[in-house]
Structure 1
Amino acid sequence: MGGRDRIAVHPARGAARDRELPAGGGPDRRGPRTAARAEFHGGTLTDTVASTARLLDEVDADNVRTYWQPPLDTPAEEALAGLASLADRVCAVRAFSWWPGNNRLPLADRSDLWAAALGLLAGRGAEALLEFVPGDDPAVLTREAATLRACAGRTPPPAYRSHRTPADHQGRSGAPDVRTADMHINNDDTLLFIGDSITDAGRDRTDPASLGTGYVHEIAQTLRDRADGGPGPRVINKGINGNRVYDLETRWTADVIDHRPTVVTVKIGINDTWRRYDHGVLSPVDMFEACLDRLLADTARELSARLVVITPFLLPAGPDQESWFEDLTPRTEAVLRAAGNNGAQVVRADLVVTRAAQDREPAELAPDGVHPSRLGHRLIADAWLAAVGSAAPDPRS
């Protein structure tokens, strides 16, 4: 196989994990190095971005990297966010177009995804492998290969550029958006989370260090665990039970701007819907969107911070909640528009919990349909870590 052997590693779930891979590929470093490649698909220990990052962190060898492919039934934006957080550790991508499920489409049907993915990996030494073609038909291989080559030379459409390079991301002003320059979280970052009870999660508001017991706590704990004995980034929780977007606006300066965070995460919207159905208090979607847009725009103007927006979600606990989607669906679309207008990264909590509910009872994820269980919070935390990026080594250490 030439001067460098390539071995794909398929770590099956339940398999022993106590076998160590030497950083040099073996005790004799004078011979050819063995390059180990982790898989990235279901049924393995590396079936998600978070689990892949954990395995690579544990092995901690520069000759161990991972393959990547878009996870099944994952929207392009979410798939690209995961790729962005692993980009420096990806050796190759498996290019194919499956949608929905394992329905094999021509590669051209998801060409925007592949143009963005290949653009993100440009200059990183990663390869693109054409793995599947529609119908397993050799006659279409030439066509599919031509599409893949064309994707490698394309500029991604605007909707995908925030995952590519800082120079490709254009904000309102048309200037490059420096907030996306580093896709990692560093130990000297300050992460601020603001929102409603899902963010609050029972925090002690008399204790500035209290993070509650929800997804913010899970994110902070994961980042501390990755900090090699250091404290990890500073994490601030400013969630308050019952808040709607207008409540955030009244306290935004004191609770966000004055802390000078480097990463701001907003999770809002479900109470703007809920109050309509339990108290008859309306939050018109256009007013909601304008308010959220102002908050994100003001933050972009005042701070050189990365912006992150977590979408609202609902797992109906009863027939009465089914009607909420009439209000929540356009509100979620408003959240996505406001995020896109301001160069914010998006964590699709609505898609994450809905997919998870296909394999378990919804009450296991959100007993009342709104407030996540411990498992629900962990899923949101994993989605945030996948979209926003894993901790990078502290350059001062």
Structure 2
Amino acid sequence: MPRLLLICSAFLLLSAALPQKKKVIFFGDSITAAGVRPDGYITQMKAMLPDYDLIGAGIGGNKVYDLYLRMEKDVLEKKPDVVVIYIGVNDVWHKATHGTGTDLPKFEGFYRALIKKIQANGAKVVLCTPAVIGEKKNGDNEQDADLDKFSASIRKISQDTGLPLCDLRKLFQDYDLEHNKENAEKGILTSDRVHLNKTGNELVAKALSGIIGKL
């Protein structure tokens, strides 16, 4: 029995000495909910960031105030080291599809409040601009102008707070400019103008892993 106790004690000491994986929560909408699927960006990132525990916290249809309302349970209680905020598509998109959406001043207010609460909980924060609602080039998509305003707002918040920014809006636009030869509205990086296909997920995974790996 003493020998067994000694072995158990040694195992516990060894376990305690092993470095703990840093916990990263991806906080967003259906794009993030799909990120945990086999080809999703979160799943792809696990091979890129093997020393991190990557957790998806996306819910379809969410806007920025939905994130604020569920932040305590889905993020803060889990005590993450890093939180990636990836929101804004529905805040713009739902204005046309559902007659709802979010006004830009309200979006900015909730976004800044999210950051403050997450930082107060001890986590680092990474910001993302919303990528696309349609993949046509040169501002040909119906909601490009509005999406550009929301993305500009997030860039400004990044500058004001000094937080790292993954500018997916610019990344996707640049990619489509080069690869979308026929000016198609979907099929290059998205399956339906909004949700990511395998290539879109890979683009996001590479961009975010590069940022997270340097934190």
Q: TM-score, normalised by structure 2?
A: 0.80
**Paired residues for 1:52-63 under 5 Å:** none
Distance 1:390 1:282 in 2: 34
Deviations 1:79-130 (A, max 9, x none): xxxxxxxxxxxxxxxxxxxxxxxxxxxxxxxxxxxxxxxxxxxxxxxxxxxx
* CA separation of 1:290 and 1:190: change in aligned 2, threshold 3 A: same
Q: Which amino acid aligns with 2:152?
A: E
Other structure's SS at 2:206 match: helix
Higher gyration radius (CA): 1
Aligned equivalent of 1:350, options 165, 169, 174: 169
Contact 2:91–2:101, Cα closer than 8 Å, also in 1 = yes
Other structure's SS at 1:194 match: strand
Aligned equivalent of 2:31, options 198, 212, 220: 198
Distance 1:341 1:315 in 2: 26
1:375 matched to which residue of 2? 199
* CA separation of 1:306 and 1:312: change in aligned 2, threshold 3 A: same
The alignment status of 1:269 with 2:102, answered yes or no, reads no
Unaligned runs of 5+ in 2: 1-18, 181-185
Over the aligned positions, Cα root-mean-square deviation in angstroms equals 2.3
Contact 1:263–1:308, Cα closer than 8 Å, also in 2 = yes
> By how many angstroms is 1:212 displaced?
2.7
2:74 matched to which residue of 1? 255
> By how many angstroms is 1:360 displaced?
2.1
1:293 matched to which residue of 2? 112
Aligned equivalent of 1:246, options 46, 53, 65: 65
Aligned equivalent of 1:219, options 45, 58, 61: 45
> By how many angstroms is 1:315 displaced?
5.5
Q: Which amino acid aligns with 1:222?
A: M
**Paired residues for 1:1-397 under 5 Å:** 188-201=21-34, 211-213=36-38, 214-224=40-50, 232-303=51-122, 305-314=123-132, 316-317=134-135, 322-361=141-180, 363-389=187-213
Distance 1:259 1:378 in 2: 26
Contact 2:26–2:84, Cα closer than 8 Å, also in 1 = yes
Contact 2:191–2:197, Cα closer than 8 Å, also in 1 = yes
> By how many angstroms is 1:187 displaced?
5.7
Q: Which has the higher contact order (CA 8 A, sep 6+)?
A: 2
Greater per-residue helix proportion:
2
Other structure's SS at 1:363 match: coil
Q: TM-score, normalised by structure 1?
A: 0.45
Unaligned runs of 5+ in 1: 1-185, 203-210, 225-231, 392-397
Contact 1:307–1:343, Cα closer than 8 Å, also in 2 = no
Distance 1:315 1:270 in 2: 7
Distance 1:318 1:360 in 2: 11
Distance 2:159 2:78 in 1: 24
